[in-house]
Amino acid sequence: MAPNLSDLLISISRRKNLVNQRLDFGDVCLVCDKSLSESMFFKQYHVCEHCNFHYTMDARQRINWISDPDTFQESDKLVYSADPLEFKTRLTYKKKLSGDSERTGLTEAAVTGVCEIGGVPAQLIVLDFGFMGGSMGCVVGEKVALALERSYKKKIACVAVITSGGNRFQEGVLSLMQMAKTVTVANQLKTKGIPFISILSNPSTGHTFASFPNLSDIILGEPGAMVGLQSLQVVRKESLDVLPDSANTSEFHLKHGMIDAVVERPKLKETVSNILDLLSSEYKISRKVNRSTRSTRKVSINKLNNNVWDIVQIARHDSRPTARGYIGKIITNFVEVHGDRYYGDDPTIITGVGYLGGQTVAIVGQEKHKTSPNETLKNAKTTPEGFRKVQRMVELASKFSLPLITLVDSSGPKLGIDSEERGLANTIATTISKMVNLESPSVSVIIGEGGSEAALPLIVTNKTLMLQNSILSVVSPEGAAEMIFQDPKKAKDVAESLKITAIDCYELGIIDKIVLEPSGGSHNNIDDAARILSREIIKELSMIQSLPKRKLVSERQKRFRNVGEYSSYFKQAIYNEVRYLKELVKR
């Protein structure tokens, strides 16, 4: 059974530094009672290899573990805590401060400085639970603010490692104000596109959690770490239900969309380093056209199969590659981020960053969980949380000037009163709005089923491609048959009139290009399908990413203002109108 982290933590803290005393070699794990003696794994990571319990690391251990050797240079080392309020039992507070200082060798609960992580320069903020429970008093707030300002001025990434258990009540309302101070400064990082990553260790609660770490671009949690504004004890007191031990942990917050990933400590440095690399990368795909080898072949759409029902079957084929399948093949160093930081994490929306052709891109993919018995997952029906998750990625793309690639494959939005309650229509509208105003290049590809309002926000991009055997529809053929004939079985008869194939969409002027698939459909040769897709996305990207930000936005706005205007369908409609008017005039 999972340990009750909250109770365990309290019992550990009451044993007066027992963790450090007891967990020397020759000791046993406080959780599983297994021996930790001679465990190199424990020595390196402070993690029990038997039960995976992540023990608290002090600030110095953290710094040695996360920064590249001999690169850490501490800042503001001599800033000491005072007793600003001369707290009634001030001797106790002063005594506590000097006791913690003596024991930890620190002057405060925050240690800050500049280092390199995986070769990338970073400003480090590390809190130490051993010093006043890592709480945010005036000095901690000031050191955090100074560190964030240094990150801003030097234009280097900021990484914060949080272990903070509560509030510095001895500093009263001055302690409370540190939340506003750190948030004010953290806001600056947004304006300059500076990466900010927080790691939540056990525990990450109180004023600290409810301030600067929550504004990070990426929030990683350690397994089992207690995370939340309140400790589990307080949450339990306020709750009418009996809460499980897992309530208010990293895993709980991941499920509820508040953090991006739970990463085990041995993989944390590598993950942070990869994210820093991706978000600091300055390489762009450049366009090199060799005229002699340039293909002049154009897809002759007349020669493509446009049998609608065949295409519908292929678009929904059980083995048709999904967004995750393509991402796995065309994106390297992919870091998936989770959640909408509001309510939940929609598993049918995959978001993250990775390299495409050596350049960092932001990705959004609608993922059908084809074998799931759950209808919503199986058909990738997008929830309000899913749309908010997309919006987070749009904001990330904007902040770091990354191209945004979307892969569309959903039968439609998740309908029902629960979705309405959580703002389905609002999230659709605001996603469209953010997509149209994104200040970086964007390319969308319909890879399977482009279902109405779930697909639309994701295709509000500079370029829209469509795989040969994909469909884009305002209503599914079954839905249309139900409306017209009250019989979904007549879907095949209705499909043709809906104009849902790639050829139809191309002729309607909705998409820019049809991407060919291997013979019989992408499921027949997934590697080849991915290779062609990657080539086409890179080609489109290389053509638009040299455009200035303003032009990217204005061209996108123009495109959707005038959508359909120049298509053959609209030409015919206008021609009919003109003819009608001419006849009127003649009379």
Which residues of the shown chain bind Zn ion in the complex (CB under 5 A)?
29, 31-32, 48, 50-51, 53
Per DSSP, 75 falls in state E
Q: How far is the CB of 270 from Zn ion (least distance, A)?
A: 23
Tell me whether residue 39 or residue 231 sits nearer to Zn ion (CB atom).
39
Shortest reach from residue 2's CB to Zn ion, in Å = 12
Indicate the residue among 5 and 59 with the shorter CB distance to Zn ion: 5
The 10 Å CB-count burial string (b at 16+, else e) for 468-497 is: bbbbbbbbbbbbbbbeeeeeeebbeebbee
Tell me if the bond preceding 203 is cis, omega within 30° of 0. yes
Rounded to a whole number of angstroms, the minimum distance from the CB of residue 222 to Zn ion is 15
* Closest C-alpha to 334, from 353, 347, 319, 317: 353
Q: Which is nearer to Zn ion, 31 or 111 (CB)?
A: 31
The minimum distance between CB 4 and Zn ion, in angstroms, equals 14
Q: Give the nearer residue to Zn ion in terms of CB position, either 20 or 271.
A: 20
d(CA 6, CA 515): 54
Within a 13 Å sphere around the CA of 177, how many CA atoms are in the beta-carbon half?
7
Residue with tokens 């500076």: 194
Q: Tell me how far, at minimum, the Cβ of 246 lies from Zn ion, in Å.
A: 17
Taking alpha carbons only, the member of 167, 163, 250 closest to residue 203 is 163
Q: Within 10 A of 116 (CB to CB), how many other CB atoms are there?
A: 18
- Min separation Cβ 52 and Zn ion, Å: 7
Nearer to Zn ion, 52 or 271 (CB): 52
Instruction: State the minimum distance, in angstroms, from the CB of residue 94 to Zn ion.
Output: 37
95 phi-psi bin (left φ>0, alpha ψ -120 to 50, beta other): alpha
Determine which helix (DSSP H) or strand (DSSP E) holds 110, and give its type and residue range. Answer: strand 110-117
* Ramachandran angles phi, psi of 124, nearest 5°: -110, 135
**Is 41 or 485 the residue whose CB approaches Zn ion more closely?**
41
Nearer to Zn ion, 47 or 179 (CB): 47
Q: Which is nearer to Zn ion, 53 or 252 (CB)?
A: 53
Closest CB 6 distance from Zn ion, rounded Å: 17
- Both tokens of 100, joined, read 């913690």
Both tokens of residue 107? 């002057």
**Residue found under tokens 């897992």:** 246
In the complex, minimum distance from the CB of residue 23 to Zn ion, in angstroms, rounded to a whole number: 11
Pull the structure tokens for residue 496.
């043709």
Distance (Å, whole) CA 1 – CA 333: 34
Q: How many residues does the chain have?
A: 587
Beta strands in 165-288 (DSSP E): 196-205, 218-221, 227-228, 261-262
- d(Cα 96, Cα 581) in Å, to the nearest integer? 89
Contact of 162 with 127, CB cutoff 8 Å: yes
Angstrom distance (rounded) from CA 202 to CA 62: 13
Q: How many CA atoms lie within 13 A of 569 on its CB side?
A: 12
Minimum distance from CB of 412 to Zn ion (Å)?
Answer: 47
Contact criterion met (CB below 8 Å) for 442 and 556 = yes
47 vs 220, which CB is nearer to Zn ion?
47
Give 23 or 350: the residue with its C-beta nearer to Zn ion. Answer: 23
Name the one residue in this structure whose structure tokens are 């053509």. 543
Residue 278 CB, shortest distance to Zn ion, in Å, is: 34
Pick between residue 53 and residue 129 the one whose CB is nearest to Zn ion: 53
CA atoms of 102 and 554, how far apart (whole Å) = 61
